[in-house]
Amino acid sequence: MKRVNLNRKLVLEELLRVPDGMGGFTESWVSKGALWANLEARGAAELQEGARTLSVSKFRVITRAAPFGADSRPRPDQRFREGSRRFDILAVGEYDDAGRYLQIWAEEGRL
């Protein structure tokens, strides 16, 4: 395994849905904390969604491992934020055999 350089501070966010009192919900993203990570671009694509053309970039994010169920362990229903950039988490798995790091597949560009 090559050395992992955790040089990017990413904020882990989770979607919070609160009833609006009229049968619907208001949604907002709340911070679950910050993680140091390595961010590697893994490709890009142009997608057609209705009348819109989207440019979507794929990334592999490496972070320190956290146990299943821990608030600090990313999940596919969450996202990372770095300034104005948003990275939707698609999948999470172990990066190394010793279980010291996680690899997270994410994408940027869909809104």
**What is the H or E stretch that residue 11 is in?**
strand 8-19
Across the range 88-102, mean pLDDT stands at: 93
Q: What is the pLDDT of residues 20-67, one digit of tens each?
A: 889 898 999 999 999 999 999 999 888 887 888 888 899 999 999 999
Q: Quick: pLDDT tens for 63-83.
A: 999 998 898 999 999 999 999
Q: Compute the distance between CA of residue 30 and CA of residue 78 in angstroms, rounded to an integer.
A: 10
Has residue 1 been placed in a domain? no
Higher pLDDT, 111 or 59: 59
Half-sphere exposure of residue 78: CA atoms within 13 angstroms, side-chain side:
19
Number of domains comprising the chain = 1
Residue 22 lies in a domain: yes
pLDDT value for 111: 60
Candidates 111, 97, 105, 109; CA nearest to 1 is: 97
Q: What is the pTM of this model?
A: 0.86
| Structural domain range at position 60 | 8-108
- Is 3 among the domain residues? no
**Cα–Cα distance between 65 and 29 in angstroms, integer?**
23
pLDDT at residue 1 is higher than 70: no
CATH of the domain at 73: 2.40.10.270
